[in-house]
Amino acid sequence: RLASERYRYSVEAGMPQGEVWRYMQARYPALFSLVVFFGILAGLLAHWLQKRSSAPTHELQRALGANEFIPYFQPVVRGDTRQWAGCEVLMRWRHPKEGLVRPDLFIPLAEDSGLIVPMTRALLRQTAAQLAPHAARFSPGFHIGVNITARHCQDMALVQDCQEFLAAFPPGQVTLVLELTERELIEPTETTRRLFEALHQLGVMIAIDDFGTGHSSLGYLRNFNVDYLKIDQSFVAMIGADALSRHILDSIIELSVKLDLGIVAEGVETAQQCEYLVAQGVDFLQGYLFGRPLPCDEFIKSLGIVE
Ligand code: C2E
Ligand code: CA
Ligand code: CA
């Protein structure tokens, strides 16, 4: 609508409401259908892409806020006496609909999205809150192993997380062990050097998890001042089955003795495996033979029975 400033008239042009589409449809039917078709297609595609990329991450974020990630505890026993020397903290997702979800189903996603760092932080806090009231019943220096991803080692925040964890216990009552998987090696930089130095000063120990499945060098083990090697369960499973794997297992044990590293064998399920490992001088054992991962109350109850 255009009104004249000098004369008392105005010009109006246009189409009645809804007429534009009908006009387009009548004059350019092919173009019109094409525009509508591609419009709808682009809309659907954008919606699908957005949903696909953000839905699982949103779900993890929601679960983190709702405290659905909880610690389970699996005992680690001394090879010589079979006494409980510590435990490994294993994350579980207590999903409101799906029930208890195993970590291999959601940890990779948490790692990709970076949510693994706040999730681990929350797990450390829950672990401290749940175990601290029972700390007096642990043998002194009780080892608490926590799985840490390489991403968490990129800055110094991990030092504070560990400090906070240790502050929940009487001094010297527990030893925190960070388990770093060998499949995901950390780049040695100035920051990581400072980080690992600060961690060792706190008394935090470092274990290389799933040892034998990755490719860490001797230099690597020395660089990060590693304290323990955790032999991957695939090697333990082959005890008594295959001479080559046993040879690898024996070499790992020999290596750890030479480097003066503690050694933990994972996935010990049979008495035969246990006897073999003890005869080879393995310091610590972990597996279903001694106990499955349990929620805190059951873990503490079993602790009483064993000792
Ligand atoms: P992992 O660190 O190698 O943990 C040991 C896995 O072996 C656990 O599986 C444990 O339940 C299982 N296991 C223990 N004893 C036996 C046995 O005698 N036989 C067999 N067949 N399996 C045994 P889980 O709890 O399902 O955890 C799987 C993996 O998920 C862990 O492997 C670890 O890599 C990862 N994970 C668990 N919790 C966390 C966490 O808090 N943070 C991170 N970053 N990763 C985690
Ligand atoms: Ca582990
Ligand atoms: Ca492992």
Please determine, for residue 307, whether its predicted confidence score (pLDDT) is greater than 60: no
185 shares a domain with 94? yes
CATH label of the domain that carries residue 276: 3.20.20.450
In a domain, 12, yes or no: no
Residues 38 and 106 in one domain: no
Of the residues 52, 71, 92, the one at which a domain ends? 52
Q: Are residues 47 and 93 in the same domain?
A: no
CA-CA distances (angstroms) from residue 296 to 7, 75, 96, 99, 278? 88, 11, 19, 17, 28
**Together in a domain, 70 and 195:** yes
State whether 279 and 130 are in the same domain. Answer: yes
Distance from the CA of 90 to the center of ligand 1, in angstroms?
6
Query: Two tokens at 303?
Result: 């602790």
Same domain, 244 and 108: yes
Output the CA 215–ligand 1 centroid distance in Å. Answer: 20
Ligand 1: nearest atom to the Cα of 288: 18
Question: What is the number of structural domains in the chain?
Answer: 2
pLDDT of residue 284 exceeding 70, the answer is yes
Look at residue 7 and tell me if it is in a domain. no
Query: Which ligand gives the minimal distance to the CA of 102?
Result: 1
Quick one: 222 and 139 in the same domain? yes
For residue 34, pLDDT beyond 80: yes
Q: pLDDT tens digits, residue range 77-111?
A: 999 999 999 999 999 999 999 999 999 999 999 99
Please state the atom number of ligand 1 nearest to the C-alpha of residue 148.
44
Residue % of the chain over a pLDDT of 70: 98
Task: Please indicate, yes or no, if residue 38 is contained in any of the structural domains.
Answer: yes
Q: Does some domain include residue 157?
A: yes
CA of 71 to the centre of ligand 3 (A): 16
Strands 262-265 and 228-231: parallel
Mean pLDDT, the chain, rounded, equals 92
For ligand 1, mutation pick of 88, 90, 123, 232 (most atoms within 8 Å of CB): 90
Q: From CA 146, how far away is CA 166, in angstroms rounded? A: 13
Contact 92, 67 (CB under 8 A): no
Q: What is the DSSP letter of 79?
A: T
Ligand 1 atom closest to 116 (CA): 44
Residues 26 and 95 in one domain: no
What is the Å distance from ligand 3's center to 51 Cα? 34
Transcribe 112-164 into DSSP letters. HHTTHHHHHHHHHHHHHHHHGGGGGGSPTTEEEEEEE-GGGGSSTHHHHHHHH
What average pLDDT score do residues 160-171 get?
97
Contact 290, 66 (CB under 8 A): no
Q: What single-letter DSSP state applies at residue 169?
A: S
Q: Which domain holds residue 108?
A: 60-306
Calpha distance 78→283 (Å, rounded): 6
Q: Are residues 91 and 32 part of one domain? A: no
Does residue 78 sit in the same domain as residue 117? yes
Q: Which two tokens stand for residue 33?
A: 């259908």
